[in-house]
Amino acid sequence: MSGHQRRLVAGTALGLVAVLGAFVVLVLWSRGDSGSDRGGLEGETAAASQAPIVATGTLSPRVVLFGDTLTGTVDVVVDRAVIEPAQVKVAWNAAPWSTVRPPERLLEVAGSTAYLRTTFVLRCLSSLCVPPRETEKVDFDPALVTYVDPADDETTQREIGVPLPQLVVHTRIGELEPSQRDALSAPWRADLVSLPLVSYRVAPGLAAGIFAALGALLVALAGLIVYRAWPRRQPKPEPPLPPAPVATPLEQALALLESPAAANGAEECRRALELVADEVEHLGDLELALTARELAWSEDSPDGEETTAVAILVRTRIESVNRVSGNGSGSREPT
């Protein structure tokens, strides 16, 4: 094998070793990252082999801004052969910090060992938590783990204190001079993601439906008021009845002749007979005209039967003339 081939084989072998090493490092890193939470518990398992109960406390994150959410975790490893896990209680008074929601308790059992994790989610927005300077270090009181030790007495409770690490709180307002600040940026910092979700006294959908119904009711009420207040259109007045047709002098004279004779109506009867005679004479009936004149100028007052008979003859004559002429009127009104 030549020297060139030896160098090529050696380089290839070194490359394979480098790739294999990188792969091993990647696998170990991923396993270490995913098992970081259990790593502490495994260490505590070794400690639990010496003591029946071991507890540790952690904070996440260790550095926060004012108003941020803080998560405190208390992990307890219990030897089930000595202590009953259900009788282990964890409490933590982190005043003035208050819990955002009730603590979460998680219990896992592996053989004779029990893993108890209690998680506290805290936040403080009061003036007691405002850093007097740009940065403040906060030391919390230890969390208390209480349990019943059967070795002493089942009614006697013991407790152990679990120290929590120190917390660093930064103010949200910078100490830069106004001249050194960015004119377009605010002098404070905020973490809106860590704040609780917006809550409503009434669901937005329900409130929108109620307001829509009230709006529709108000519109309907306004329409009703406008309808009631709008002036009504008065109906057109009915046209007056046509006046009664005025009777012609001839008709009046004939009606007078046909009516019963009044006590003082002789003169009116004579004038009516004279008018009838003139009209009949214009119609060409000289004989009937002569009869009417004789009755009008008789010495005695005209008799009712005679005047009625003359009126009937005159009407018959007028109707016959109208039928022949067809003009709708065969009489002439005297002037």
Residue 227 has pLDDT above 90, yes or no: no
The alpha carbon torsion through 272, 273, 274, 276 (nearest 10 deg) reads 90
Percent of the chain with pLDDT over 90: 27
Query: Which pLDDT tens digit goes with each residue over 298-316?
Result: 877 777 787 888 888 888 8
pTM, rounded to two decimals: 0.41
Contact 257, 269 (CB under 8 A): yes
**In the prediction, which pLDDT does 127 show?**
86
| Measured distance CA(308)–CA(310) in Å, rounded | 5
Contact 304, 261 (CB under 8 A): yes
Average pLDDT over residues 236-243: 83
Domain 36-174 in CATH 1.20.59.20? The answer is: no
Band (88; pLDDT cuts 50, 70, 90) = very high
Residue 332 has pLDDT above 60, yes or no: no
Percent of the chain with pLDDT over 70: 72
Query: Which pLDDT tens digit goes with each residue over 7-50?
Result: 544 445 444 445 445 444 444 444 444 444 444 444 444 444 45
| Measured distance CA(325)–CA(250) in Å, rounded | 19
Band (73; pLDDT cuts 50, 70, 90) = very high
Q: Looking at residue 97, what DSSP letter applies?
A: S
Closest by CA to 331, choosing from 247, 271, 268, is 247
**In the prediction, which pLDDT does 189 show?**
55
Residue 102 has pLDDT above 70, yes or no: yes
**In the prediction, which pLDDT does 37 show?**
45
Query: Which pLDDT tens digit goes with each residue over 243-288?
Result: 777 778 888 888 877 887 655 567 888 888 888 888 888 888 888 8
| Measured distance CA(79)–CA(172) in Å, rounded | 45
**Tokens standing for 132?**
């007097």
Band (195; pLDDT cuts 50, 70, 90) = low
Residues of the chain with CATH 2.60.40.10: 36-174
Query: Which pLDDT tens digit goes with each residue over 131-157?
Result: 888 888 999 999 999 988 777 666 678
Average pLDDT over residues 197-226: 89
Mean pLDDT computed over every residue of the chain:
77
Contact 77, 45 (CB under 8 A): yes
